[in-house]
Amino acid sequence: MARIVIADDSQFMRTLLKNIIEKAGHEVVGEASNGQEAVDLFKKLNPDLVILDIVMPVMDGMEALKKIIEINPNAKVLMCTGLGQQKLVIQAIELGAKGYIVKPFQAEFVIKEIERILSG
Amino acid sequence: MIFLNELDKAMLESFIEEVTSILERISELISLGDIGADQINELFRLFHTLKGLFASIGFERTKELIHKYEDLLSDYRGRGASLSDRDRAQLSAIVNLLEAILANIDQGEQQFLRDIEELMLRFSEEESKAGKAEEKASPKEKGLTRIEIRIDPNEALVAAKMLIILKQLKDKGIEYFLISPDIKSIEDGSVQDRSLIVEVPSEKAQTTIELVKNIPGVTSVTSVAEHEETAKETILTHRRAEALPKTIRVDSDKLDRLLSIVENLTVLSNRLIAIASNTKNDDLISVVNLVSKAVGELREEILSIRLIPLSYIFSKIPRIAYDLANKLGKKVEVVIEGADVEIDKASLEKLNDPIIHIVRNAIDHGIESPDERRAKGKPEKGKIIVRARRSPRGIVIEISDDGKGIDVEKIKKKALERGLITQEKLEKMPKEELFSFLFIPGFSTSDKITDVSGRGVGLDVVKNTIESLGGYVELQSELNRGTTIRMVLPPTTLIVRALIIRSGNVRWAIPVDSIISIQEISDAQIREIASQKVVLYRDSFVPLLSLSRIFGLEDDSENIVMICGKEKKIALRLAEVIRHMDIVVKPVPSVIRGFRGITGVTILEDGFVAPVIDPEALVRFVG
């Protein structure tokens, strides 16, 4: 069982994601509604995995990713993206994101990707 | 050496065309069965050409591979033996690889380096077997396994997925070679392919497969080690298929036949118009007009197929210029303008040598050494301008240099020595005409002219070539300022809107582009200046000429005058204006070649031939 922080400005999306994660037997230890909160939670909770939405207010996912990688270069970050954001995703991967999941979520894929990153 | 990014499209196309035809010939030879001494001789020659072609575009490793095989063929030539099965297989493999490289030519040879190395390795195996390289241990098994990874068709972000896969391999310390697609298309997200092909060390193949299988969005991971040849062929076919639809090659004779059929059609449709307009049947006239328009469009299309941009020649000029300048210890700068001007393929081929020749001459004899230029207060770097443009006269190609120019006094001296002219006539001769001596065969090649003023070696050849294309050459030169050679070719668009006129019982066609106005004049308006008849046109005197008189026919001119010309105007006196029509301009028959005023001939609807006149060229007849 892994400890996971999720960051998304939509309460609905967070709940959806949380359900998927918990069904797979992992624990969501923190929820953030923007990038800044996500970075703070990462520092405070030192989770096994952070899932970051790319588009968020205050501080977006890309910025949060940079901060998190600065704090811990080996941090496991999964980006969460809509369609048509391939360029941003590629950038995120180059910045150190370990993977990505695409909205709308397909539970099976999300879990597979999480497992892959956790085991890597 | 030209590198690929400097090659423009036309060059590249011609490169591809040439290599393709060589590869086709090689394939033909392979398919013919036993490859004996004769075939080996031909193969040797073909490989030699291929080597040069790939070297010229900077494909070093490809060139070396071809070179290796050329060496092998050379051995065979010495022994007079037939090609062994093994070397035949190698030949096929090389042809396959070259076809694949050709199909992806714009991506460079990088992505094929592995394939090239592999084929190179087969040579060294052969060598060690033959005992040529005894010491060399048997070539180390490279042990690479090719793995194909297919991405889920539902995966939205293919490029990101591929990047994740590659990153995963890297993170796990698996060294990989990316075979396809190229990394650039992944990084910029433009990749279209859903298949990722990598090569990994064979001992890591299983780990790789397990690892990649676990990445969501990957549908299959297959090792193609056991079927390497098949896999490679699949890739090659795949690449070849991509390049297929762009062009088809057509025998240019076929195009010529098409063109001549369409030219006949044009003449016939002109006759049809003449007949139809006599019937006063509006329906018939309108249909005939539509037919004529369609014929015109058809002809334009066929002509455009035959057109090739001058860049095909122009693009190699800088390289030739710099090479030569280097050799001569000179400095030059080359400016190219109008490389996109298109010209008929046949003309283009003939123009190549004259243009290159003039450029070489300009550097060899025109441009001074840096010291000399400095002493003259010129920039050290000489300047060569090669410029093409379309004008109503046709296509104008100019090659200018800012070198030492041509010394008119030397020409005079030479002309007198050779007894080509009397002192008296020489004094009266305008400068422009003096230059025409340079076009006399053998005149310019004589020592002094070439040494001192340079220009001239082979200018007669240039002149003949251009005239055979229905054009003419002009030369301007200013001592110490430079020289310009201008080649004017008749328009490649062989159909021209022209006015048919009569003068001296001959009908002439004058392109409407060059006609300014037609007016009647009274005798009082005609003046004589320096024994040249002139008419007043808009505040200036324009020389008055008669076609019939110029060409020695009976002069039946009325007081109808046509003002024509762009830069230089002339007034043509004529007997009758007949009518406008689209004419097909055909090359000047050799009997009347040499009259610069005639750019071609056309066949009128009644079957008679009318010369096509370039009014501006007639200005020369004015003393």
Q: Which architecture, in CATH terms, is B4-129?
A: Up-down Bundle (1.20)
Closest CA to A112 of B218, B317, B512, B372: B218
* B181 upstream amide cis, omega within 30 of 0: yes
Q: Span B232-238, mean pLDDT? A: 46
What pLDDT is attached to residue B256? 77
Domain B144-246 has CATH 3.30.70.1110: yes
Under 8 Å between Cβ of B212 and A112: no
Using alpha carbons, list the distances in angstroms from residue B346 to B184, B298, B462, B612.
Answer: 40, 20, 16, 21
In percent, the amount of chain B with pLDDT more than 70 equals 86
Q: How far is A61 from chain B (nearest CA, A)?
A: 16
How do residues B154-188 score in pLDDT, each as one tens digit? Answer: 787 888 899 989 988 888 888 888 887 888 888 88
A/B interface, count of CB pairs below 8 Å: 45
Using alpha carbons, list the distances in angstroms from residue B536 to B128, B521, B541, B563.
Answer: 90, 10, 5, 10
Residue B234 is given by DSSP the state H
Average pLDDT taken over every residue of chain A = 90
| Residue B587 reports pLDDT greater than 90 | no
> Considering only CB atoms, which residues of chain B are within 8 Å of chain A?
156-157, 159-160, 163-164, 167-168, 171-172, 186-187, 189, 214-217
- For A104, nearest residue in chain B (alpha carbons): B156
Substitution target in A83, A102, A113 with the highest count of B β-carbons within 10 Å is: A102
Q: What is the CATH number of domain B495-621?
A: 2.40.50.180
Q: How far is A11 from chain B (nearest CA, A)?
A: 24
Rounded-to-integer distance, Cα B336 and Cα B386, Å: 5
- For A90, nearest residue in chain B (alpha carbons): B160
A113 touches chain B (CB under 8 A): yes
Q: How far is B152 from chain A (nearest CA, A)?
A: 12
B contacts of A69 (beta carbons < 8 Å)? none
Q: What is the pTM assigned to this prediction?
A: 0.40
| Residue A49 reports pLDDT greater than 90 | yes
Amino acid in the structure at residue B120 = M
Nearest to A102 among B156, B163, B171 (CB): B156
What pLDDT is attached to residue B5? 52
A contacts of B159 (beta carbons < 8 Å)? 86, 90
Complex-level ipTM: 0.78
Percentages helix, strand, coil for chain A (3-state, rounded to 5) are: 50, 20, 30
What pLDDT is attached to residue B322? 84
A contacts of B217 (beta carbons < 8 Å)? 109
**Interface touch B167/A93, C-beta < 8 Å:** yes
- For B162, nearest residue in chain A (alpha carbons): A90
How do residues B288-310 score in pLDDT, each as one tens digit? Answer: 888 888 887 887 788 777 778 88
Lowest mean pLDDT among A2-16, B236-250, B264-278, B416-430: B236-250
Nearest to B163 among A85, A93, A119 (CB): A93
How do residues B436-467 score in pLDDT, each as one tens digit? Answer: 888 877 675 444 444 333 444 478 888 888 87
Closest CA to B482 of B383, B411, B402, B406: B402
**Interface touch A116/B171, C-beta < 8 Å:** no
Domain B310-489 has CATH 3.30.565.10: yes
A109 touches chain B (CB under 8 A): yes
**Interface touch A116/B160, C-beta < 8 Å:** no
Nearest to A116 among B160, B189, B216 (CB): B216
| Neighbour tally for B56: CB within 10 Å | 17
Nearest to B157 among A100, A108, A116 (CB): A100
pLDDT band at residue B383 under the 50/70/90 scheme: very high
Sign of CA dihedral B214, B218, B219, B225: negative
Domains defined for chain A, CATH in brackets: 3-119 (3.40.50.2300)
**Interface touch A93/B187, C-beta < 8 Å:** no
Lowest mean pLDDT among A56-65, B506-515, B550-559: B550-559
How do residues A62-111 score in pLDDT, each as one tens digit? Answer: 999 999 999 999 999 999 987 667 888 998 998 999 999 988 788 888 99
Q: Which residues pair with B220 in a beta bridge?
A: B150
Q: How far is B241 from chain A (nearest CA, A)?
A: 28
pLDDT band at residue B94 under the 50/70/90 scheme: very high
Q: Span B469-477, mean pLDDT? A: 84
Domain boundaries of chain B, sorted by first residue: 4-129, 144-246, 259-307, 310-489, 495-621
* Strand pairing report for B382-391 and B332-337: parallel
**By three-state DSSP, how is residue B19 classified?**
helix
Q: Locate B83 and state its tokens.
A: 């090609």
**By three-state DSSP, how is residue B525 classified?**
helix
| Residue B623 reports pLDDT greater than 70 | no
Substitution target in B164, B165, B171, B187 with the highest count of A β-carbons within 10 Å is: B164
Q: How far is A114 from chain B (nearest CA, A)?
A: 10
Question: Does B451 or B281 have the greater pLDDT score?
Answer: B281
**Interface touch A93/B164, C-beta < 8 Å:** yes
Q: Span B377-383, mean pLDDT? A: 92
A118 touches chain B (CB under 8 A): no
B contacts of A91 (beta carbons < 8 Å)? none
B contacts of A120 (beta carbons < 8 Å)? 168, 171-172
Q: How far is B104 from chain A (nearest CA, A)?
A: 25
Closest CA to A50 of A36, A62, A39: A39
